[in-house]
Structure 1
């Protein structure tokens, strides 16, 4: 039996929503990562620690919060923790992406992003996440699990990510359309 954690990509998910705003208006919101607390199930905001805000190469330090109920059986980080990410794509009105970094600020194959496309008088916003190779954090979570436990974690985490992508898009739509 193969080790599911060695699968690449480990996660590759996307979700879409229609938003009653121009691609430029949508992009202006989703590329403003310090506002993440307004829509993210886990990111409570943060700050740019290097580079110009929202520019390729800039680094964002996010403050995150995870409850005890999220995949409750797994040995996850709970409460508040911090992450750093580097912007890898920033094309106003089109795409905004960031790559998660290790504590040593090395790239990980963990990329989040938004794509925006015109659709009639509004836009379609796509939120996506791709993890190629498992990060050090994933390896730590599954270190003491057998293969059945690893598969359960990947299945449960995938379900959590699907919910998070959908919740994020719904909240962004509300933020933009109620502005």
Structure 2
């Protein structure tokens, strides 16, 4: 097999941060409540806990997602509504909340999203991060029929989309918490 950008690890490793006028405990209470994610996520429309206690390590969340037609419009992405499942991997109130995306067979993927929060003066700094070590089955499916230059273009454009999503998410969380 020839070398391809998709074999790079990590494929994505991104983070953004925002100062919020609230305690770390207040921020954590919001960001760990995944069913509320429709209030701030560019794609997740919310969802429900389907296994385990809400927001606890090991619990599984089924998210409902919506992607617009114009998002990296040339690439063969899932459009409209689709569902994902994720397992909570870290849950330390006032400190960190992280979840790992699962395959349809509920196997772990190297696709981890999370929030870290720390006190900063009269508020907190909230960091939103995403790391994909090895490409997921979904990424492999998207790029399967693309040439290597098209794969590189996809990764470049998808990275820009993810960076914007992280920033937009933090902006929206700040509004939700500070209102």
User: TM over 0.5, yes or no?
Assistant: yes
Q: Distance in 1 between matches of 2:26 and 2:72?
A: 35
Q: Secondary structure at the match of 1:73?
A: coil
Kindly provide the CA deviation profile for residues 46-76 of structure 1, in whole angstroms up to 9, marking residues without a partner as x. Answer: 0000000000000000000000010000000
Q: Distance in 1 between matches of 2:119 and 2:3?
A: 42
Q: Secondary structure at the match of 1:46?
A: strand
Q: Compute the displacement of 1:34 (Å).
A: 0.0
Q: Secondary structure at the match of 1:26?
A: helix
Q: Distance in 2 between matches of 1:82 and 1:40?
A: 14
Q: Which residue of 2 aligns with 1:13?
A: 14
Q: Compute the displacement of 1:121 (Å).
A: 1.0
Q: Which runs of 5+ in 1 are unaligned?
A: none
Q: Which residue of 2 aligns with 1:87?
A: 88
Q: Distance in 1 between matches of 2:88 and 2:134?
A: 19
Runs of 4+ in 1 over 3 A off after TM superposition: none
Q: Distance in 2 between matches of 1:175 and 1:14?
A: 20
Q: Compute the displacement of 1:2 (Å).
A: 2.9
Q: Which residue of 1 aligns with 2:23?
A: 22
Is residue 51 from structure 1 mapped to residue 52 from structure 2 by the alignment?
A: yes
Q: Distance in 2 between matches of 1:36 and 1:165?
A: 13
Q: Which residue of 2 aligns with 1:139?
A: 140
Q: Which residue of 2 aligns with 1:172?
A: 173
Q: Compute the displacement of 1:45 (Å).
A: 0.1
Q: Distance in 2 between matches of 1:153 and 1:12?
A: 16
Count the aligned residue pairs.
178
Q: Which residue of 2 aligns with 1:71?
A: 72
Q: Secondary structure at the match of 2:46?
A: strand
Q: CA RMSD in A?
A: 0.6
Q: Which runs of 5+ in 2 are unaligned?
A: none
Normalising by structure 2, report the TM-score: 0.99
Normalising by structure 1, report the TM-score: 0.99
